[in-house]
Structure 1
Amino acid sequence: MYRPLTRFYPLIFNFFGVLVLVIPPLSAQENWPAAIQALKEQVRSNRGDENARNQLAIAHNNYAMVLGHEKKWEEATRQMEEALRLDRQNARFKENLSLVHLNHAYQLYQEPTRERYYQSYRHQEAKKLVGKALGLNSKLASAYVLLGDIEYDNQQLPRAKLAWQRAQRLDPAINGLASRLDRLGRESKVESDMKSVADLYFTLRYDDSVKRSTGVDIRKVLRQARVDVGRDFQHRPKHKIVVLLYSKEAFRKVRERAPEWASGIYDGKIRIPMPESQQDLGSVKKTVVHEYTHAVVHELSGGRIPHWFNEGLAEYQAAKYAKTSKPASSLRQALDADELVPWSQVESLFRGRSIDQVRLGYAQSHSVVAYLVQRYGFWHMPRLLKQISQGVSFEEALEKEFKSPVKRLEKDWKRWLPRFF
């Protein structure tokens, strides 16, 4: 089950002051490089002109804000540092430089689609930038929120708690902060005594009772999933994925709003309830592959893939590990009754309260992926996800990748569907 954490980080900058007429009027007020060059000449020709010096500092600041909105962080940082060199005591300049660092950190943390950045590296760099931001403005509550998110994702729960609590003291009204702390409180009660297992590719934590009850080395299952899913998607994450193994009772405590029938969750971490006997280990392998697929899909798509198609990809991969791979009867019934749900509405099935609706959602999503793979080949899937990660809409990416309008794809899928059974 895919349940990404919803996190929104606003892009906020402050322009400071306006230029007075110490230079000839500009053809375009937004031409800050020209304004900066003219002001530099003014300062050089009038060494003691504090007004020109102040205006130059303001111009550097305002140009930095423009660059920030364009996400040109390195140049924005240089411009802000130059503004502070000219006016070291300007509190607004310090605040703005801290915001440049923070927004740069947001982007590094949130956008994993640039190939040269591995997640562990991005998190380290984002954490350094947060430190710089707080060094300039120790009351920047949103910086503590991001710091807590980074620590949480790396399973440093006590550090995450300290950061989020500091943010809450500074600004109790921050959206989503109370729910973060509530979730952390529930998880900490369960996970604080978990043991760790060393592994090259996963940060694996488990309750001792889980290991004793099953006797399974989950590392082998995870490594095989990494090989098999990685082969299909032509991608293996370079960072360690956090995997948490719970008893069934502990899983219920941390599950939050996930339904009773959920056999696993991926929310940035893979969470799996382990069976009480070896009889159910086959279903555990299927769950591991399903949730690991979510992790790969989330990384390749930048988290932009529709929920229903994400579940379809995970079900397609997990079906390879099922003893029987018969589609849910609900899909057969929907086909026979001519009640298949349009692709544009499949997402709503996962929000339904009826277990039958959810089962239909999983089965229909699985069938769509199976059709596209059988007709066109799986190699299209990572290409599709890459387009989506670059901001192309799902519908547009489908049409570009499969060279057909979505309505035609859907019509062809319906004709093919009886073969799925």
Structure 2
Amino acid sequence: MRTFMQTIPGGVPLIIGLALICLIVSMVPIRPQMWLYPLVRQAVVLKINFQTRDMLARETPHFFIRYTERDADSVDMVATAAEAAYEPVTATLNYAPEKKTLILIYPDRQAMKGAYGWVGESNAMGFYWGGVIQILSPKAWMKNSQSVEEFITTGPLAHEYTHLVLDHLARGNYTRWFTEGLAQYVEYKVNGYEWLTAENGLSGGGYSFKELDHDFDGLPNQALAYRQSLAAVRYIAEVQGDAKLTQVLAFLKSGVPVNKAIERSLGMDYASYETMVNLWAQNNMKQYSKIAN
């Protein structure tokens, strides 16, 4: 049997090439960029689809899943979880991709890291990149590798599919904190899941929105950055109302930057929004409890 890396030849060169393409696209003014972005994403999907053509495949109404023989007994569970994520994600974002989504299942963590040249430790169970959802085999992390309910509730598909749908809707016009906040919000709304640690409490302040906007992935306390992004999206949906979140998404779709989309939808400037989110989060967001965890 071919290794997973062999099914995706040139894993690291592929990422370098994609990074260069994204850099070029990012240098184009926003509206032309939003026109070019889907073309680049579709090219990536076609490339990965071709490179994984020899893998086993399973098709559902909205997804196309590729996997190795090691996950032949898990693919039905992944298919069920993917379809379970479809309706709540598309309903929350009020948008559905036109084509089926490609999902790749990595048989183990080393394969998932190696395919894209990751270094160091990573506990990610999946990621979204270039129009494709890529996940770690349930057998590599679940306590009960055959529990569909556990995989739906704690697995990565609702989160990663939210990234994908937003990417299609906004055509790349969003910030890292917004897509992570929205993905966590859908997880919270559907499964009640929140990422809580002793390091991401919101009662003692946190990063500024300027930091979240410009260096989300470089912030040293990623757990706190993610927690703040969830708070920022939950504030819009729960305090201002779901209609306001839908309006923000509509502005993003039309090419309005995230900060301006929020200002126009909520009728307040970005600084006031930051202040209100922080105040609301301190009083309404669940805090980490050592007893509960």
| Both structures adopt the same fold (TM-score exceeding 0.5) | yes
The answer to whether the aligner puts 1:300 opposite 2:156 as a matched pair is no
- The answer (yes or no) to whether the contact 2:251–2:261 under 8 Å persists in 1 is yes
Could you say which residue in structure 1 is the equivalent of 2:87?
Answer: 227
- The answer (yes or no) to whether the contact 1:293–1:314 under 8 Å persists in 2 is yes
Could you say which residue in structure 2 is the equivalent of 1:264?
Answer: 126
The answer to whether the aligner puts 1:420 opposite 2:285 as a matched pair is yes
For residues 13-412 of structure 1, what are the structure 2 equivalents within 5 Å? 110=36, 150=42, 152-155=44-47, 158=50, 188=51, 191=52, 193-212=54-73, 214=74, 216-248=76-108, 249-257=110-118, 260-267=122-129, 268-276=131-139, 279=144, 282=150, 285=153, 286-322=155-191, 325=194, 327-332=196-201, 335-336=203-204, 338=205, 340-347=206-213, 348-352=215-219, 354=220, 357-412=221-276
Q: TM-score, normalised by structure 1?
A: 0.54
Kindly provide the CA deviation profile for residues 92-126 of structure 1, in whole angstroms up to 9, marking residues without a partner as x: xxxxxxxxxxx9xx986x355xxxxxxxxxx7xxx
- 1:196 maps to amino acid: A
Instruction: Give the gaps of 5 or more residues in structure 2.
Output: 1-14, 26-30, 287-293
Larger of the two Rg values belongs to structure: 1
- The answer (yes or no) to whether the contact 1:376–1:402 under 8 Å persists in 2 is yes
Deviation at 1:381, TM superposition (A): 2.4
Deviation at 1:192, TM superposition (A): 5.7
Deviation at 1:395, TM superposition (A): 1.4
- The answer (yes or no) to whether the contact 2:34–2:255 under 8 Å persists in 1 is no
Higher mean C-alpha deviation, range 149-158 or range 269-278: 149-158
Alpha-carbon distance in 1 for matches of 2:199, 2:34? 42
- The answer (yes or no) to whether the contact 1:236–1:296 under 8 Å persists in 2 is yes
Instruction: Give the gaps of 5 or more residues in structure 1.
Output: 12-70, 72-102, 113-122, 124-145, 159-187
Alpha-carbon distance in 2 for matches of 1:376, 1:323? 20
Could you say which residue in structure 1 is the equivalent of 2:28?
Answer: none
SS of the aligned residue for 1:270 comes to strand
**Matched length:** 253
Instruction: Classify 1:210/1:329 alpha carbon distance in 2 versus 1 (closer, same or farther; 3 Å).
Output: same
- 1:272 maps to amino acid: I
- 1:351 maps to amino acid: G
Q: TM-score, normalised by structure 2?
A: 0.75
Alpha-carbon distance in 1 for matches of 2:138, 2:203? 34
Deviation at 1:377, TM superposition (A): 1.6
**RMSD value, Cα:** 3.1
Deviation at 1:218, TM superposition (A): 1.7
Alpha-carbon distance in 1 for matches of 2:182, 2:34? 27
Higher mean C-alpha deviation, range 282-291 or range 262-271: 282-291
Alpha-carbon distance in 2 for matches of 1:373, 1:389? 18
